[in-house]
Structures are given as C-alpha cells and as structure tokens.
C-alpha cells in the first residue's frame, strides 16, 4: 500500500510551500507529502513531527464526510458515491477525493464556484492556474466556457503540466487562481499579462490589502470561514 507523510502545523500558518495535499481543521492543518525528506523539512520548520499514513486513509475518510450541498445559484456539489437526483435547474459537480487540492469541500473552492457564475459567459476563454482536481475547470466548462486547466503537480487532473508562465499573453477572458498567497505573489506578473478578469482565492481577510496591491481593488470580494475570494 502506498504511503504519504503527514505533518500537523498550526491553522494560522500560510501554506507557502509545495505539498501533495492538505486538510484544514479548526486548530491545525494536516499537510501531506510524497517523500519523507519533504515532510521532514516542513516538520523542522514548524517544530512538528512526521507521521506515516496510507494514502487511502485520509482521502477515504474525508470523502465519507461529504454530503451534497448547493453552491451559488446553479451548482450542486455532490460526492461521487451519492446517487440521488440533482435538483432541477442545478448543475451537478462531483467532489473529488485525492492527494491534490480542490476536492470541493474547502471554502476557497466553493467561493470560486460562486464567483464563476458572475464572471463566466458562454464561449469565454478560461484558464484555471493550479487546477488541482480540475473541479473549477469542469465548472467553467459546465457554464459553456472554453476552459483549460494547468498545474505543476503531475498528479493533478489538468490539460497540461505547467504554470502561468507557459501561457500566451492576453489569451483569456477569465483567469482562475485558487492558490495560496505565496504563489500568487510569485506569479502575479504572469497572471496580469494573461488578460481578462482575474478570479483569485486562497488568501486570508488580513491579506486582502496585499492582494489589492498586486492586482488592484476587487470588483467583488467574498469571505467565508476565514478565507477570501474575489475577482479583479
């Protein structure tokens, strides 16, 4: 059975480092790594320890807690194992378990789904930077956009492996980046040059000022459960 390496760190910490996946709890993050060396580096940084866990354990446990929820005006977010009817007028999106970000349960993903309804139009050219499970890419396609997803993680469900620096300037109507602030800082110039509306998430309320310095004042900003998303 494959193994992952778990490090528990304080919930208030900004996840500005690469990892295989993470779960958020009330007081801490559970951060997963593919190798012991990566996990040990994180553990030393945050005065924590490395725990060895089976890959299936944490993703299956998380999926078992999922229940269908309505998101925004149009989406119906449901676990794959749920076989009930989708409410009339809503689009079913399956929550995705696994060792990559964006399964659907986190507030940043749900805020992005709500804001997608505001900015995506039929035929819009959309790119999802750091797509993870690809749920936001699929949501954009469900809204009849021409959407592609990219991620530097080869385990992600994407159209190509890479980041914003590999994309042509001015090629998109909507650029999604549901990534923590550390990465938004690094790729800010590339995100701006891609053109169109920037739909950003993964930052905390106290970080909204810095995001505005990078991308301008938001046209709309929403916060939930200690996380924010907006379009710029």
Lowest model confidence (mean pLDDT) among 13-17, 162-166, 181-185, 219-223? 13-17
Average pLDDT over residues 211-221: 97
Which pLDDT score is estimated for 100?
47
DSSP per residue over 149-179, as a string?
EEES-TTS--SEE--GGGS-TT--SEEEEE-
- Across the range 193-220, mean pLDDT stands at 95
pLDDT at 141 exceeding the cut of 70: yes
- Please report which helix (H) or strand (E) contains residue 147, including its range: strand 146-151
The reported pTM is 0.76
101, pLDDT greater than 70: no
Which H or E run includes 30?
strand 28-33
What is the residue-averaged pLDDT of the chain?
Answer: 87
Looking at residue 69, the DSSP 8-state letter turns out to be E
* Percent of the chain predicted with pLDDT > 70: 88
Beta strand pairing status for 197-203 and 3-10? Answer: unpaired
Percent of the chain with pLDDT over 90: 60
Q: Is the pLDDT of residue 132 over 90?
A: no
Angle of helix 181-193 relative to helix 208-215, nearest 10 degrees, comes to: 20
Structure tokens at 160: 């190509």
Instruction: Residue 216: count other Cβ atoms within 10 Å of its Cβ.
Output: 11
Please tell me the predicted confidence (pLDDT) of residue 99.
45
How confident is the model over 88-100, as pLDDT tens digits? 999 999 887 554 4
Question: What's the average model confidence in pLDDT over 103-109?
Answer: 81
**What are the structural domain ranges in the chain?**
3-58, 101-231
What residues pair up with 125 in beta bridges, in sequence order? 146
The secondary element (H helix, E strand) that includes residue 203 is strand 197-203
Whether 191 shows a pLDDT value over 90: the answer reads: yes
**Nearest-5° Cα angle at 229, 228 to 232:** 135
Q: Is the pLDDT of residue 228 over 70?
A: yes
Q: Does domain 101-231 have CATH number 3.40.50.150?
A: yes
75 exposure class (CB count in 10 Å sphere: 0-12, 13-18, 19+): buried
DSSP state of 89: T
**Tens digits of residue pLDDT in 49-69:** 999 987 655 555 656 667 899
Q: Which DSSP category does 127 fall into?
A: E
User: What is the token pair recorded at 80?
Assistant: 């794959």
Q: In what order do the strands lie in the sheet with 227-231?
A: 160-161, 146-151, 125-129, 174-178, 197-203, 227-231, 220-224
- Please say whether the beta carbons of 102 and 132 come within 8 A: yes
């Amino acid at each position: 059975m494959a193994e992952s390496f778990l490090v528990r760190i304080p919930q208030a910490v900004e996840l500005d480092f690469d990892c295989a996946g993470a779960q958020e709890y009330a007081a801490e993050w559970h951060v997963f790594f593919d190798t012991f060396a990566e996990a040990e580096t994180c553990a030393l940084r945050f005065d924590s320890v490395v725990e060895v866990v089976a890959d299936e354990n944490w993703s299956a446990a998380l999926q078992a807690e999922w229940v269908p929820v309505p998101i925004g005006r149009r989406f119906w977010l449901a676990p794959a194992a749920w076989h009930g009817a989708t409410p009339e007028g809503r689009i079913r999106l399956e929550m995705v378990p696994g060792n990559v970000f964006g399964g659907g349960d986190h507030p940043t993903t749900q805020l992005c789904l709500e804001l997608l309804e505001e900015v995506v139009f039929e035929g819009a050219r959309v790119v999802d930077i750091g797509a993870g499970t690809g749920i936001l890419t699929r949501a954009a396609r469900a809204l009849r956009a021409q959407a592609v997803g990219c991620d530097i993680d080869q385990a992600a469900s994407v159209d190509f492996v890479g980041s914003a620096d590999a994309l042509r300037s001015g090629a998109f109507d909507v650029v999604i980046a549901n990534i923590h602030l550390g990465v938004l800082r690094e790729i800010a110039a590339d995100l701006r040059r891609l053109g169109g509306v920037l739909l950003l998430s993964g930052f905390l309320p106290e970080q909204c000022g810095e995001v505005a310095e990078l991308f301008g004042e938001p046209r709309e900003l929403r916060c939930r459960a200690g996380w924010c998303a907006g379009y710029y």
